[in-house]
Amino acid sequence: VPTTQRHDVHIEPHDRERALIKDVQDGLGSRPYTLPPKWFYDSTGSELFDQITTLAEYYPTRTERAVLESCVSDIAEATGAHTVVELGSGSSEKTRLLLDALQAHGTLRTYVAQDVSESALTAAMNHIMVDYPGVDLHSVVSDFSAANYRDGLHWLPDYPHRLLVFLGGTIGNLVPAERAHFFGAMRELLHDGEHVLLGAGLIIDETTMVAAYDDARGVTADFNRNVLSVMNAELGADFDVHEFDHVSLWDAENQWIEMHLRARKDMTVQVPGAGVVVNLEAGETIRTEVSAKFELSALVEELAAHQLHVRLVWQDPDSRFAVLLAEA
Ligand code: AVJ
Q: What's the complex ipTM? A: 0.99
Residue 70: the pLDDT is 98
**Residue 166 CB less than 6 A away from ligand 1:** no
Query: What's the gap in Å between 168 CA and the centre of ligand 1?
Result: 8
Distance between the two ends of the chain, CA-based, in angstroms? Answer: 32
Query: What's the gap in Å between 174 CA and the centre of ligand 1?
Result: 12
Structural contact between residues 222 and 239, judged by C-beta atoms closer than 8 angstroms? no
Going by CA atoms, what residue is nearest to atom 8 of ligand 1?
213
Q: Is 49 a residue whose pLDDT tops 70?
A: yes
* 3-class secondary-structure state, position 91: coil
Going by CA atoms, what residue is nearest to atom 12 of ligand 1?
213
**Residue 139 CB less than 6 A away from ligand 1:** no
Q: Is 149 a residue whose pLDDT tops 70?
A: no
Residues 127-146 pLDDT 10s: 999 999 999 999 998 887 75
Residues 257-302 pLDDT 10s: 999 999 999 999 999 999 999 999 999 999 999 999 999 999 999 9
Tell me which residue of 299, 212, 227, 309 sits closest to 28, measured CA to CA: 227
**Ligand 1: which of 59, 94, 145, 289 to mutate, most ligand atoms within 8 Å of CB?**
289
Residues 55-93 pLDDT 10s: 999 999 999 999 999 999 999 999 999 999 999 998 889
Which residues are within 8 A (CB) of 264 and not within 5 positions of it... i.e. 6 or more apart? 243, 244, 245, 282
Residue 33: the pLDDT is 98
Residues 88-108 pLDDT 10s: 998 889 999 999 999 999 999
Tell me which residue of 215, 216, 205, 167 sits closest to 63, measured CA to CA: 167
Q: Is 154 a residue whose pLDDT tops 80?
A: no
Dmax over CA atoms of the chain, in Å, equals 64
Nearest atom within ligand 1 for CA of residue 289: 8
Q: Is 2 a residue whose pLDDT tops 70?
A: no
Residue 152: the pLDDT is 60
The DSSP secondary structure of 246-267, one letter per residue, reads EEEEEETTTTEEEEEEEESS-E
* Cα dihedral 122, 123, 128, 131 sign: positive
More confident of the two residues 116 and 301: 301
